[in-house]
Homo-oligomer: A and B are copies of this chain.
């Protein structure tokens, strides 16, 4: 779709994202999701044409990474730079946050000239999203009491529950691949667990995928070995979503069942919910011996399911043997990045460039979220730079 058509579409969508946070996709309407996608695509078009879509003369974007990150870190850095904001990372080792300072206070202290706060906090179950809300509440209070002149928006760069910038990039990729969001109706997507020689991978991607894709009439099939559960509330929500959107949602017990007839496959490792709970408790207690024991137990449990690998044989089960393979990267690739992992080298290589393209939407999705939460009239702002 052309930039002008997208702009026209965007003008017709009713959204109320201004001065809000963006923490879970399911807290936002379909129209808002569509607005994010349209905005992101316009920004991507403009960048491809070598045109600046800068919106701010100055201002800070703050990132708080409570877990390692390369892709999301650079996507956020790219997005805020393109909008004209300067990036400051709150490094909690360097800063005094670790010395008993309250979240509330710190959130205000770093926000005097800030437009956006991007947070990644996915290590502790029950904590990451909660922390983001605390930061959001703190800057809301600061704004209302006149401490802050502007109300920076908090953007979830991955928490214990959802990974909205990833799944919205995934959705943009699917829309692009299949031609439109409407074309996704009736398509089958297999969100399945896959074997990995590491443990403790967050639940946010599979949860985010089933929470988002069920809203667009897709047939979502979730598969994992017994015991590799997700947060139950999100699974319930996925079922409710699909009932409303006219798609379907099923939980199956094998990668093969999920792959059967699938248009899209998303094989990715995650830790069982119960392990994440135990891990959270051990992390809170800084129980290193306990963590090492849990890792050992979990890895040996994982190893039972080494056959949960996305290989060419399983890909043959998909629609015309040609489903679109997706991954949030980095994938554990058998014989490449590990001995045995989530995906065979042959399958990954076939879709390697496609996964890069999938990832390429993320900076533009983040820029879209910043624009929609910080600017009152995004269509006009885009119209100005797209002229």
**Are A68 and B94 interface neighbours, CB within 8 A?**
yes
Q: Does A77 contact B (CB under 8 A)?
A: yes
The count of identical subunits is: 3
Q: How far is the CA of A47 from the CA of B57 in the complex (A)?
A: 12
Q: Which positions 105-137 of chain A face chain B at CB distance < 8 Å?
A: 105-106, 108-110, 112-114
Q: Which positions 87-111 of chain A face chain B at CB distance < 8 Å?
A: 87-88, 90, 94-97, 99-102, 105-106, 108-110
Q: Which of B50, B54, B330, B356 contacts A100 (CB 8 A)?
A: B330
**Are A87 and B84 interface neighbours, CB within 8 A?**
no
Q: Which residue of B lies closest to A71 (CB)?
A: B109
Q: A60-B78, A88-B87, A100-B338 are in contact. Are A360 and B112 (CB under 8 A)?
A: yes
Q: Does A304 contact B (CB under 8 A)?
A: no
**Are B356 and A105 interface neighbours, CB within 8 A?**
yes
Q: A109-B359, A360-B112 are in contact. Are A96 and B74 (CB under 8 A)?
A: no
Tell me how many residues of A have a C-beta within 8 Å of chain B: 66
Q: Does A381 contact B (CB under 8 A)?
A: no
Q: Does A69 contact B (CB under 8 A)?
A: yes
Q: Does A211 contact B (CB under 8 A)?
A: no
Can you list 11 contacts pairing A with B, beta carbon distance less than 8 Å? Answer: A52-B58, A58-B82, A58-B83, A59-B82, A68-B96, A77-B88, A78-B113, A87-B88, A99-B330, A145-B356, A147-B356
- A335 smallest CB distance to B (angstroms): 12
**Are A336 and B102 interface neighbours, CB within 8 A?**
yes
**Are A68 and B87 interface neighbours, CB within 8 A?**
no
- A357 smallest CB distance to B (angstroms): 6
Q: Which of B68, B108, B363 contacts A356 (CB 8 A)?
A: B108
Q: Which residue of B lies closest to A111 (CB)?
A: B74
Q: Does A337 contact B (CB under 8 A)?
A: yes
Q: A54-B57, A57-B54, A147-B357 are in contact. Are A106 and B70 (CB under 8 A)?
A: yes
Q: How far is the CA of A302 from the CA of B47 in the complex (A)?
A: 54
Q: How far is the CA of A236 from the CA of B364 in the complex (A)?
A: 49
Q: Which of B83, B84, B330 contacts A105 (CB 8 A)?
A: B330
**Are B48 and A149 interface neighbours, CB within 8 A?**
yes
Q: A82-B113, A87-B86, A147-B356 are in contact. Are A77 and B60 (CB under 8 A)?
A: yes
Q: Which residue of B lies closest to A355 (CB)?
A: B105
